[in-house]
Amino acid sequence: MKLAELTARARRIRLVLTDCDGVLTDGGVYYSERGEEMKRFNIRDGMGVVRLREYGIASGIMTGEMSPSVRTRAAKLQIEELHLGIKDKPACLQEIVARTGLSPNEIAFIGDDTNDVGILGLVGFSACPGDATSFARAVADFHCQTPGGHGCFRELAEFIIAAQATKS
C-alpha cells in the first residue's frame, strides 16, 4: 500500500487497539518460583498511549490472555477499552463498534500472530510489529520497523499522529 493511502487511512483513526503479547511485550513470559507471571512492557509504548490521547485518539488492549499484569498496565495508562480473555477478536471488534458508534474505518489494530489475522482485515488501519509472523505480515497494511515489546506501538502511534497533524 502506498504512503499516501496509508496516511489517508490513518487520518480517520479515533481508536487504536492492540494485542498484548508480541506487541506491547516481547512475547516472553517470566515465572517466579511461586508461579507469578511477569511481563515486560516498554515505557515508550506507554507514551504512545498518552500522545494518542492528546490528539483525541483512544487506545485499547484486546488479548486472549487473562493476565493481571495487563490489567495493571492498562490501569496505569488509563486505558478504558480493556478486553481480556478474548478468543474471538472479530466478535469483540463488532461489540466495540456497536457500543461506541465508531465505524471499523475509524479503528486501527496492531497484532503479531495468527490469532490477530481475522481482525487485521476488518479495521480501517492494520499494523504489525517488525518481528510479526508471516501470517500477520501478509495482511497488515503497515509494517513497523520496531519489534514487539520494543516500541512498535509507539511507532504506530507516531505515524497516526503525524497523519492527524496534516489533516486539512
In this predicted structure, the answer to whether residue 57 has a pLDDT above a threshold of 90 is: yes
* pLDDT at position 116: 98
* pLDDT at position 46: 97
**Least confident segment among 27-31, 79-83, 87-91:** 27-31
Which residue range(s) make up the domain with 98?
3-165
Number of structural domains found in the chain = 1
Asked whether 46 and 77 are in contact (CB, 8 A), the reply is yes
Which residues does 154 contact at the CB level (< 8 Å), separation at least 6? 42, 44, 45, 47, 48, 146
* pLDDT at position 38: 85
Mean per-residue pLDDT for 119-130? 98
The model's confidence at residue 35, banded by pLDDT at 50, 70 and 90, is confident
The grid cell for 16 is 487504536
* pLDDT at position 19: 98
The model's confidence at residue 22, banded by pLDDT at 50, 70 and 90, is very high
Q: Any idea what the CATH number is for the domain that residue 67 is in?
A: 3.40.50.1000
The model's confidence at residue 112, banded by pLDDT at 50, 70 and 90, is very high
The model's confidence at residue 167, banded by pLDDT at 50, 70 and 90, is low
